[in-house]
Amino acid sequence: MAKPMTKTQLVSALADEMGSDKKTANGALDAVISIITREVSGGGAVTLPGVGKIYCRERPERMVRNPATGEQIKKDADKVVKMTIAKALKDSVNG
């Protein structure tokens, strides 16, 4: 498995794709991340065309097992961030 692209590498690739400098690309990336974070943390969802949909899902209260002791404990309800991958991206990876 290949190493994941770092933020520096992503900013560099984005600057090349946009035909601009790295400072502008970094600002654009930070703005997109900020918008996604604000929307999803507020309970909404964000669709990135060709990539997927990022959303927040609530999990109910449940019983879980402590792996160290084997003891059953109650875990409070919480929220998790999920992502559904777009069919176009799946097809490009598999095809």
CATH of 45-95, one of 2.60.40.150, 3.40.30.10, 3.60.20.30, 4.10.520.10: 4.10.520.10
Q: What is the pTM of this model?
A: 0.79
Nearest to 43 by CA among 33, 31, 58, 62: 58
Q: Please state the domain extents for the chain.
A: 1-42, 45-95
Alpha helices of the chain — where are they, by DSSP H? 7-18, 22-41, 87-94
pLDDT in tens, the chain (95 residues): 789 999 999 999 999 999 999 999 999 999 999 999 999 999 999 999 999 999 999 999 999 999 999 999 999 999 999 999 999 999 999 98
